[in-house]
């Protein structure tokens, strides 16, 4: 039986500079408009192979629609006196810390 540790694979991929750092801008090309396809193709949040998530395509579309709508209509800010902490929690796999945020109408 072979069991692949996806976190280990992604954390040691030479294309990911500082993989432990939360940096979503790493996927944006230098022109600021297009995505780096080589990095996107090597990101495996839904697993791979025959055990991959059956709902991956639907989940990606829903995520984009939801986030795009939220960013268009709201500003996401930390609560008064709070600071956004982007250091992950390592519990077998990295996960973000809980954050207290507030939404303000963008217009």
pLDDT at res. 3: 64
Length of the chain (residues)? 107
Distance CA 13, CA 26 (A): 14
pLDDT value, residue 47: 77
What CA–CA distance (Å, rounded) separates 74 from 104?
5
Q: Alpha helix (H) ranges present in the chain?
A: 6-11, 37-42, 56-73
60-72: average pLDDT:
92
Q: Distance between CA atoms of 17 and 5, rounded to whole angstroms?
A: 19
End-to-end CA distance of the chain: 55
Q: What's the whole-model pTM score? A: 0.48
Of 73 and 32, the structure prediction assigns the larger pLDDT to: 73
Is the distance from CB of 19 to CB of 94 less than 8 angstroms? no
Express each pLDDT in 9-54 by its tens digit: 778 888 888 888 888 888 889 898 899 888 888 887 777 777 778 8
pLDDT class of 4 with cuts at 50, 70, 90: low
pLDDT of residue 82: 92
Burial 25-49 (b: 16+ CB within 10 A, else e): eeeeeeeeeeeeeebeeeeeeeeee
């Amino acid at each position: 039986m072979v069991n692949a540790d996806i976190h280990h694979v992604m954390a040691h991929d030479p294309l990911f500079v500082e993989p432990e750092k939360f940096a979503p801008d790493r996927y944006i090309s230098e022109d600021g408009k297009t995505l780096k396809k080589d990095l996107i193709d090597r990101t495996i949040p839904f697993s791979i192979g025959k055990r991959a998530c059956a709902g991956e395509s639907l989940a990606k579309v829903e995520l984009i629609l939801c986030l795009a709508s939220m960013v268009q209509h709201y500003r996401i800010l930390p609560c008064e006196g709070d600071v956004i902490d982007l250091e992950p929690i390592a519990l077998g796999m990295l996960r973000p810390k809980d954050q207290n945020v507030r939404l303000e109408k963008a217009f």
